[in-house]
Amino acid sequence: MKNKLTKEEVLHVADLARIEVTKEELEKYQVELKKLLDDVEKINEVENYDDEIMIAPWTNNTTLRSDVEGPMLDPKEVLLNAPHHTANYIAVPTVINENESEGA
């Protein structure tokens, strides 16, 4: 078994997590991440478990909320902690690729 991840593997997960890995850090992460990934490989030692999953140790099903409006923030409060804002908007560097969002 190799004892470190490839540089590409580290850079891929760094990209997924939006973490910058500098050239100096790369080597360190190659080893450290590999160590943790070796740890989690131990899951493959487990056999004879049933398919049922536990997402979380929930006790109840979801109690639905009535569709009644509650208090909202003043736009000023929305901006209070935002590092950059203009008028009532929160501002970020221009996102060049319009409609890129995949969410909706």
Partner 1 sequence: MKYLNKPIKEINKLLKDKKIKPTDLLDEVYASIEANKDLNAYITLNKEEAYKKAKELESIEVDNLLFGIPIAVKDNICTKGLRTTAASHILENFVPIYDATVVEKINEKNMIIIGKTNMDEFAMGSSSRTSYFGAPKNPWNHDKISGGSSGGSATTVAAGDVLFALGSDTGGSIRQPASYTGLVGMKPTYGRVSRYGLIAFASSLDQIGPMTNNVYNNALLLNVLSGKDNKDLTSIETDEDFTRLIGKPLKDVKVAVPNFFMSDIVSDEIREKVKETIKILEDNKIKVDYIDMKYIDKAVTLYQIIAMGEASSNLARFDGIRYGSSYENPENIYDLYVKTRSRGFGAEVKRRIMVGSYLLSGENAKIYYNKALSIRDDIAKEFDKVFEKYDYIIGPTTTTTAYNLDDPMDDPSKSFMDDVLVIPVNMAGIPGLNIPIGLSKDNMPIGMQIIAPKYEEAKIYQLASFLEEKINFGGDTNE
Partner 2 sequence: MSKYLPTIGIEVHVELKTNTKIFSNSRNGYGSVVNSLTNVVDLGYPGTLPTLNEEVINLGIKAATVLNCKIRRKMHFDRKNYFYPDNPKNYQITQNDTPIGYDGYVEINDDGVMKKIYIEEMHIEEDTCKSTHRKDNTYLDFNRAGVPLIEIVTKPCMTTPNEAKLYLEKLRELLFYTDVSDCKMEEGSMRADANISLRKKESDPFGTKVEIKNIGSISNVKLSLEKEIARQEKMLDNNESFKEQTRRFDSKLNDTVLMRVKETGNDYRYFPEPDIPFVEITDEMIENVKKTIPMLPDERREKYIELGISEINSNKLVQNRDLSDYINDLLDEKIDFQVAANLLLGDISAYLNKEEKTIEETTLNIERFIDLVNNVSNKTISSKNLKDILETIMTKEDSIEKIISSSDVQNITDENLLTEVVDKIIDANPESVNDYKNGHDRAIKYLMGQIMKETKGGANPALVMSILKDKLDN
Contacting residues toward partner 2, per CB under 8 A: 16, 18, 53, 55-56, 58, 60-62, 64-75, 78-79, 84, 86-104
- To partner 1, the closest distance from the beta carbon of 95 in angstroms equals 5
Using a 10 angstrom Cβ sphere, with 0-12 exposed, 13-18 middle and 19 or more buried, the burial of residue 10 is buried
Using a 10 angstrom Cβ sphere, with 0-12 exposed, 13-18 middle and 19 or more buried, the burial of residue 15 is exposed
Terminal CA-CA length for the chain: 42
Binding site for partner 1 (CB under 8 A): 10, 13-14, 16-21, 29, 32-33, 35-37, 39-40, 42-43, 45-46, 49-60, 62-63, 65, 73, 77, 80-84, 90, 92-96
